[in-house]
Amino acid sequence: MSFSPERRMRIGALISGRGSNLQALIDAGRDPAYPAEVAVVISNRPGAKGLARAEDAGLPAVTIDHKEFETREAFEGDIQKVLEDHKVDLIATPGFMRILTNSFVEKWPGRIVNIHPSLLPSFPGVKVHEQVLAAGVKVSGCTVHFAVPEVDAGPIIGQAAVPVHDSDTPESLAARVLKAEHKLLPLCVRLIAEGRVSIENGRTLVDAHPGEFEVFSPLL
């Protein structure tokens, strides 16, 4: 997996909601030295706040409402066309609340990046923070990984950990994890765009510099 150093890597962002992680990617891309840029934003939900974020940044914002399609394959066919039209290199799915079909994922091997609000493989699925608090763990966090047909699986690119406080609610924990997500996702995209991530035998090899990943931050 490699990208041309002669141009910035082009990201197609799939969203469903407020798009705060999308905003983190947009903000990162404002730095001319950042090796990637959001090329197009696609939402499956009309009126998603993330679409307004894209428009405010002068980016193409496209709504493809999944409810208007009889099959997932037809829905994804329209997504594929938009991605191709915008010459997308890498797909990011921050807050995209649709499960992609195996056939779609297999069209983009090692080129779909997802972020999940736990330290995978622990606590996959939904209601993640409720799961974390019920288990009584003392550390949680977030994971950026390449998507594979299995949900919340795939080679892990990076993780960031945050403390779980005894007084936490799902909402307070989610807010703390989200701060870490906003740092981790742009970092992992940078590593990919700079050619510092490879996949071997189902695992990633990441050429990260010392201190590049904040594994645990008591400030969060």
Any idea which residues carry the catalytic annotation? 116
Give the separation between CA 29 and CA 8, rounded to whole angstroms.
9
Contact 99, 143 (CB under 8 A): no
| DSSP letters spanning 106-174 | HHSTT-EEEEESS-TTSS-SSSHHHHHHHHT-SEEEEEEEE--SSTT-S-EEEEEEEE--TT--HHHHH
